[in-house]
Structure 1
């Protein structure tokens, strides 16, 4: 996705008629995100080329332009189809009932070429017909990312040290759209906001990251005016398309975003009763859009930090964030072991995911609160046995607080929470507090 955006900016500068030593070469740029935009692009081609009949309301504009492009007498041409993420639109959709699939109006001629730009790997393959013709645009490296950031910030006001700039492009994971947006945000607020200031604000909280990446500070005259510029908004267009095409894939993406973004095991996101083929069907769109990456050697899934942030913001807008957070706690409470020695390997692999789902416990119901308490108690016991007494104490206190809101003082789980807290306080030499918990447990 990152390379896709960078490439479109470079290519769009040439969306006009180019004269060479050979016969005239036409370069046409079409936004192919949906059938209406494709037809609009054909309409503009017809008007620009002054194809006879282009202004007749009864004319089949798709057929008219297709025939004109297939005629070698009209010269060489290059057509760029941008945002062609929905291949189903070309093979099954049509602009109206009396027209066939749109793919039939994509010209194939020796005197013309077509460049298709897509964020969807499967769509790219389906439209070009062979993986051999698919060129994957690789992510930018640090040097390229720094050059892009510096191009957005006035030279007279660098706004930070080289180390700050390196830290910022690394935090933005070398994604061009994110770097461009951050650079424009800083440039528009200098000297109030520098690179160092932006970086500090970015790391303060997830809420501030979302706000910064939803900012509409930057504009680009070469960019499609119907597409908003913010990073999160751009990704959310892909999320919405996935939800329309395959709701199960959108649900899988939502669930994955609740856990730590790295090392997500399949057991956490695949239901125990879910068929393997159904799981693969849901997973493939996420891999094709490069929203999720599979580490084949370990069988674990990763996602970009900014993708995770964007998914959570998208769910929050849809008022679904709390329900997915609750669902992730149910799964973690079931999957995280009791913390005893024989389960330590699994506990280590799941601890980061447990911490992730325990970050937000506001406005939860009693059932959700008890799931969280179970997870907190098990994590605390594992950390306790590992010698992480301070962190274990924090887990135990949160578990006890949650259970006190739901359970009676005589409930066995309450006894466990009180006793465990007393033990870990004793381990740290906090004897007076430990005595209070021990007496309470005894009573």
Structure 2
């Protein structure tokens, strides 16, 4: 739904069609509501969703609109106006959402938590399996139903993804709802805690060797947010995303994120297994990027550290030695001679 204002007749027809209870209509209050919403389809859709969900009169809804938290509305409106398409429309849209946010927070904590999580990830193509699970499946269904009922989440049809078969539901969220939710979380919640929880959850469910991983856009959105979270969680997600990007052939991006993982793990001990893993993976993506000399230097370091700390037949050590031999081959260096001349191995 776009934000351009409708003329009065079209706006009235859209509101009437959107209301499940036709007895809610009253010419005077309906026109008053359309004035309040400035005949914007996005605001009308949100207001209708609220009215349908709560079986509330338009008169009562008008009272809620006029008593909303004006500081939050003003903040959302300023953010919306950064896009010139939303001039003059932002206040009406923000007000309807603040009313609905308040209702969800008061009546459905699980739905509010899901909405906060979704505000951290990409706003489209959200697979249900990515959403954090709640204690009971029934409660999960109710929470998703609440968000869809308020028109915050929209279920995707299979036809929207040509050539694919869906075994789970996928969702989209309007990008302005996405923005509004982030503002709401900053105002009423623990934004840093929500982000850290989202990073941890996505890292837990992420599989890095899956071609065209549907979680990847959401992982990248989290990593590109610019907000700080714990080094452990962020470094793990950077590494997972980097490995997935390498599998997907997006080598330059893979280098960027695996380097970031290494940077976050620099504070760990030199022989820490997580630090060594990030360095090993960075060497591999360096090689894929044609930076073979850098790959060799990094793998030589990894091999040297593991030679001091791991037994000869340890799987990690064997993999590192094999990877180094492969890199030597790319440098036209005899891998047997190079490894045998290494003082660590002699």
Corresponding position: 1:80 with 2:29 = yes
Query: Aligned pairs, how many?
Result: 252
Following TM superposition, by how much is the alpha carbon of 1:309 offset from its aligned partner in structure 2, in angstroms? Answer: 1.0
Q: Secondary structure at the match of 2:135?
A: coil
Higher-helix-fraction structure: 2
Q: Secondary structure at the match of 2:171?
A: strand
Change (3 A) 1:258 1:118: closer
For 1:394, the equivalent position in structure 2 comes to 256
Following TM superposition, by how much is the alpha carbon of 1:354 offset from its aligned partner in structure 2, in angstroms? Answer: 1.0
Separation in structure 1 between the aligned mates of residue 107 and residue 83 of structure 2, nearest angstrom? 26
Consecutive unaligned residues of structure 1, counting only runs of 5 or more, are 13-76, 85-115, 130-207, 220-227
Following TM superposition, by how much is the alpha carbon of 1:278 offset from its aligned partner in structure 2, in angstroms? Answer: 0.7
CA contact (8 A) 1:261 1:305 kept: yes
Corresponding position: 1:292 with 2:162 = no
For 2:315, the equivalent position in structure 1 comes to none
CA contact (8 A) 1:293 1:303 kept: yes
Stretches (4+) displaced over 6 A: 1-5, 7-12, 213-217
CA contact (8 A) 1:118 1:124 kept: no
Separation in structure 2 between the aligned mates of residue 212 and residue 370 of structure 1, nearest angstrom? 34
CA contact (8 A) 1:210 1:313 kept: no
Change (3 A) 1:370 1:237: same
Separation in structure 2 between the aligned mates of residue 395 and residue 295 of structure 1, nearest angstrom? 30
For 2:207, the equivalent position in structure 1 comes to 337
Corresponding position: 1:316 with 2:178 = no
Separation in structure 2 between the aligned mates of residue 254 and residue 119 of structure 1, nearest angstrom? 21
Separation in structure 1 between the aligned mates of residue 123 and residue 51 of structure 2, nearest angstrom? 26
Separation in structure 1 between the aligned mates of residue 277 and residue 156 of structure 2, nearest angstrom? 39
Consecutive unaligned residues of structure 2, counting only runs of 5 or more, are 13-25, 35-43, 58-77, 159-165, 305-346
Change (3 A) 1:286 1:214: farther
For 2:82, the equivalent position in structure 1 comes to 212
Higher-strand-fraction structure: 1
Corresponding position: 1:124 with 2:52 = yes
TM-score, length basis structure 1: 0.49
Separation in structure 2 between the aligned mates of residue 8 and residue 274 of structure 1, nearest angstrom? 46
Counterpart selection for 2:227 from 362, 380, 383: 362
Following TM superposition, by how much is the alpha carbon of 1:326 offset from its aligned partner in structure 2, in angstroms? Answer: 0.9
Residue-by-residue CA offset, 1:257-292 (whole Å, 9 max, x unaligned): 212111111122241x53122112212222122111
Counterpart selection for 1:422 from 271, 283, 292: 283
For 1:351, the equivalent position in structure 2 comes to 216
Change (3 A) 1:216 1:268: closer
Change (3 A) 1:283 1:83: farther
For 1:267, the equivalent position in structure 2 comes to 129
Residue-by-residue CA offset, 1:54-85 (whole Å, 9 max, x unaligned): xxxxxxxxxxxxxxxxxxxxxxx84425669x
Separation in structure 2 between the aligned mates of residue 245 and residue 4 of structure 1, nearest angstrom? 32
Which structure is larger by alpha-carbon Rg, 1 or 2? 1
Separation in structure 2 between the aligned mates of residue 296 and residue 11 of structure 1, nearest angstrom? 26
For 1:141, the equivalent position in structure 2 comes to none
Structure 1 vs Structure 2 CA RMSD? 3.6
Change (3 A) 1:7 1:428: same
Corresponding position: 1:240 with 2:122 = no
Change (3 A) 1:3 1:333: closer
For 1:435, the equivalent position in structure 2 comes to 296
CA contact (8 A) 1:421 1:434 kept: yes
CA contact (8 A) 2:47 2:96 kept: no
